[in-house]
Amino acid sequence: MNSRNLLGSLITFLILCNCNASQNVNLEFPYFTLRNLSLLGDSYIRNGVVGLTRELQVPSSSSGSVIFNDPIALFDPETNIIASFSTRFSFSIHNLNPASFGDGLTFFLSPNNQTSGSPGGYLGLVNSSQLTKNRFVAVEFDTKLDLHFDDPDDNHIGLDIDSLISIETANPLTWAIDLKSGNVITSWIDYTSDSKKLEVFLSYSSFKPQQPLLSVDIDLSEYLKELTFVGFSASTEGSTELHFIESWSFKTTGFRPSKPRFNPHNVSDNTVPLNSPLPVSDSGHRNHKRVGLALGIGCPAFFSAILAVFMWFSVAKWRRIKAENDLKPEVMGPRQFGYKELKSATRGFHQSRILGHGAFGTVYKAYFVESGAVSAVKRSKHSHEGKSEFLSELSIIACLRHKNLVQLQGWCVEKGELLLVYEFMPNGSLDNVLYQDAKNGTVLKWQYRYKIAVGLASVLTYLHQECEQQVIHRDVKTSNIMLDANYNARLGDFGLARLMDHDKSPVSTLTAGTMGYLAPEYLQYGKATEKTDVYSYGVVILELACGRRPIEREEEGQRMVNLVDWVWKLYKEGRIAAAADGRMNGEFEEAEVRKLLLVGLSCANPDGGERPTMRRVLQILNNEAEPVVVPKTKPSLSFSNSIPLSIDEIVSDCGSPGSSHVEIIVD
């Protein structure tokens, strides 16, 4: 999916009542954009998620905060009432250094909209040289034991008021919640002004627990009398942790809306018109027979027309329902969604929610308001191929379970629509991260690239050798490899996949896929096997190591360069390491780069019989088997009939230089 940068233009769904005293406020951020938010320090927004701290190239410190732009009145001086408030947000804390953790994040309310504090134990909330300057009410989610602030342990939440020494704390581990797990955690913070009580709830799910983890009896009216800004802060020391906020809502209650004033004497009797009696004409009696005759003829005709229209719509509806029922697969696992629910979650499939486009449909970001969940909805095209692709994808992936697969959450066949619901991947596609993000100065690190190669090898091993029936994906490419919050590879888009019995000969099918990833024998004979998936995998990991697309146009000239040929030429010259992506500035393990490049060449061998199995590839990458011997010269194959078009001819009309994403389906 190449359109992930459209996320930057998504419009935040924001409901904000007037922030005057005596007015309640309701904010909803199912995802984030720069609209209505201020980013301070190292914070940033990517793919709708706020990152509060950055992963730096060298061990360093980082802190940042995000603040809603407009101040909120929580105190009404006319009535001397402070509003109750509640907030809900989903966050995750990722560890970069297994040897240490720290420091954490906070949700805060403060009269200061420039809250940008020091890193380390100061949580980005206060300045280390001016500890008493910042005023705030905050709930901290602390992941480091700091005796300077009387921390009880290295995994606690606490209520802080104008100081990082917490008034009261609680340990989430007592509820089996580890702040440092890297999992998405949802927090609810409720303050009730009547009972003067603040409560904090935590859960790994989107369902609010019945009992709070932290409950503090406290009157906040003395601290929240000024206009207040709300937001989040976080910090780390030594490039240890990354802190993400994925969604957020905040609302106040307790202020009564002002009532309109009415004057009881505004209406007088003389303003009400009186109806005078109407004269009765004798001529009306003469037309009674005509009217009766007209009604006697017209009414049956009118009701007959109504009945005909009703019958027509009934038959049309019956045919549509029958067609939908014929399409509904016999799948017990995933949930069946209602069309109305998915339409609402995608804002009517609005173009601002588009995540990307595939060969058979468009993918939208969906936000479910009631549960707070975010998903990806694939809307198939209304064509014969779209229906076949929909049924194929649903029937295959519904039965698969692997940590490196995009998990199917449900489906919908209604209103003539074919919809699949998947878990949302915050880092988008590998294609986007590897190429599009690089234009913005963000380069995928080597350790992530190698982890992606291993994860993809693992899931293909599962599909080829560990399922009850062998699954041939047929469209392994960077745009179909999604990345979760931890940059783990998740293989998706099973629209072209096929099921086969193990050890059975493949049958010829329509050749389908993307140029540059298709094995030579598949192009020639149209027979998809596990070895054709292995070839596509080899191209993908060459892309990971080299940062180049499968087919690119030369910088000078119009000749197309095939990535496999280019790497093999360097290997023949004895300088294969020169193929490594120069944007990494040498920050990689050369031995791992060489291993990945050689595995890529062995998988992309033109002779399918010489390609390793995915199990062997996984063992090589995990240092459990010796690498496959790769010939210095690329093998050549001859077919009984030549391929009708050369690579240059096939991609000559593919658009801008460097583009190799040409979808083909030929007989």
| Inter-residue contact 179 to 155 (CB < 8 Å) | yes
* Cα torsion 511, 514, 518, 524: sign: positive
Residue 537's alpha-carbon distances to 157, 444, 455, 530, 599, in angstroms, are 44, 19, 11, 11, 10
How many residues are given for the chain?
A: 667
One-letter amino acid identity for 94? H
Q: Confirm or deny that 439 is annotated as ligand binding.
A: no
Helix (H) or strand (E) holding 410: strand 408-414
CA-nearest of 28, 32, 166 to 86 is 28
CA-nearest of 386, 378, 408 to 395 is 408
Cis ω on the peptide bond leading into residue 142 (within 30° of 0)?
Answer: no
| Inter-residue contact 85 to 74 (CB < 8 Å) | yes
- Say which of 76, 160, 431, 475 is annotated catalytic: 475
What letter would DSSP give residue 504?
-
Calpha distance 196→467 (Å, rounded):
57
Radius of gyration of the chain (CA): 32
Q: Over the range 358-377, which residues count as b (16 or more CB within 10 Å of their CB) and which as e?
A: bbbbbbbbbbbeeebbbbbb
Encoded tokens for 130: 């001016």
* Pairing of the two strands 498-500 and 241-253: unpaired
- Angle in degrees, CA 96, 99, 105, rounded to 5: 50
Does residue 475 carry a catalytic annotation?
yes
- Cα distance between the two ends of the chain: 25
Calpha distance 188→203 (Å, rounded):
9
362 Cα distance to chain centroid: 14
Judged by DSSP in three states, 492 sits in: coil
Calpha distance 561→303 (Å, rounded):
72
Calpha distance 484→498 (Å, rounded):
25
Residues with catalytic roles: 475
Q: Which residues contribute to the annotated binding site for ATP? A: 378
Annotated binding site: 378
